[in-house]
Chain A
C-alpha cells in the first residue's frame, strides 16, 4: 500500500522558517516525481512545488518562488519542503502527493494526510 506521511508543520512567526518532510513507502520512490500542494483554511487547492524523479529539476508556484525549496533523498524515500520568509498567507495544510504516471507526471495520486502550517505572531 502506498503511504505518504507528512511531518514538520506547526506555528511559526512571520519571517520565520519551517521544514516539512514526507516519508514515502509502498512504491518505488525513484520512479515518480513528487509534489507539495497546499490548502488554506476553508479554501481550495493550490499547487506549491514539484520535483523530478532524480531531484534535478524543481518547479515552483510564483507565490513561493525564491522562498521555498523542494528536495528529495531517493535513498531515504523522503521528500522535503524548506520554507523560508514565511508569510501569513502561507498558512495552510500542506499535502505531499505522488505524481502519476511516471512519464507524464500529470495527476496527483495518492495524497498524504497533510501537515498544518500556521504563520502568526
Chain B
C-alpha cells in the first residue's frame, strides 16, 4: 500500500511569508494527489486535486505541483486564516492520507 510522508511536521511562519509544504509518496501516484486544509474544530476542506487543480472557491494564493512521488503545496503569501493543518491524500486500492503539516504563527 502507498504511504504518504509529509514534511515538515510543523512550520512556524509569519503572515505574508511564502510557504512550501512537501508530500512524498512511497511509489509513483502519477498526478493523483489532493491537498486538504483543516482548521481547529472544523472538518477538512479540499484545496487541490489532481496535484495542481484548485477546488472551487480556493484562493489563487494556493497552488499545487508535482507528479510521480514528490508533491508540493505552496501558499504564495500567508494570510491569517491560512494557519491550519494541511494533509495530502491519494487513492489507490484504498484512500490514504499523509500525517499532516501544521502551519503555525511564529
Partners in one complex: yes
Interface residue ranges, A against B (CB under 8 Å): 35, 37, 44-47, 50, 59, 61, 95, 100, 104-114
| A44, B99: Cα distance in complex, Å | 6
Asked whether A111 lies within 8 Å of B91 as measured between CB atoms, the reply is no
Instruction: Tell me if B36 counts as interface (CB < 8 A to partner A).
Output: yes
Instruction: Tell me if B32 counts as interface (CB < 8 A to partner A).
Output: yes
| A11, B27: Cα distance in complex, Å | 40
Interface residue ranges, B against A (CB under 8 Å): 32, 34, 36, 38, 42-46, 49, 55, 87, 89, 91, 94-100
User: Quick one: which of A47, A105, A106, A111 contacts B97, CB cutoff 8 A?
Assistant: A47
Asked whether A45 lies within 8 Å of B45 as measured between CB atoms, the reply is no
Q: Please name all residues of chain B whose beta carbon is closer than 8 Å to the beta carbon of A108 when the two chains form the complex.
A: 34, 36, 44, 46, 89, 95
Asked whether B46 lies within 8 Å of A109 as measured between CB atoms, the reply is yes
Asked whether A44 lies within 8 Å of B97 as measured between CB atoms, the reply is yes
Rounded to whole Å, the gap between the CB of A90 and the closest CB of chain B is: 17
User: Quick one: which of B46, B94, B95 contacts A110, CB cutoff 8 A?
Assistant: B46
Asked whether A107 lies within 8 Å of B49 as measured between CB atoms, the reply is yes
Instruction: Name the residue of chain A whose CB is nearest to the CB of B6.
Output: A44
Asked whether B44 lies within 8 Å of A111 as measured between CB atoms, the reply is yes
Asked whether A45 lies within 8 Å of B94 as measured between CB atoms, the reply is no
Asked whether A95 lies within 8 Å of B97 as measured between CB atoms, the reply is no
Q: Please name all residues of chain B whose beta carbon is closer than 8 Å to the beta carbon of A44 when the two chains form the complex.
A: 87, 97-100
Q: Please name all residues of chain A whose beta carbon is closer than 8 Å to the beta carbon of B32 when the two chains form the complex.
A: 106
Return 9 A-B CB contacts under 8 Å, by A number: A44-B97, A45-B44, A45-B89, A45-B97, A100-B49, A106-B49, A106-B91, A108-B46, A113-B43
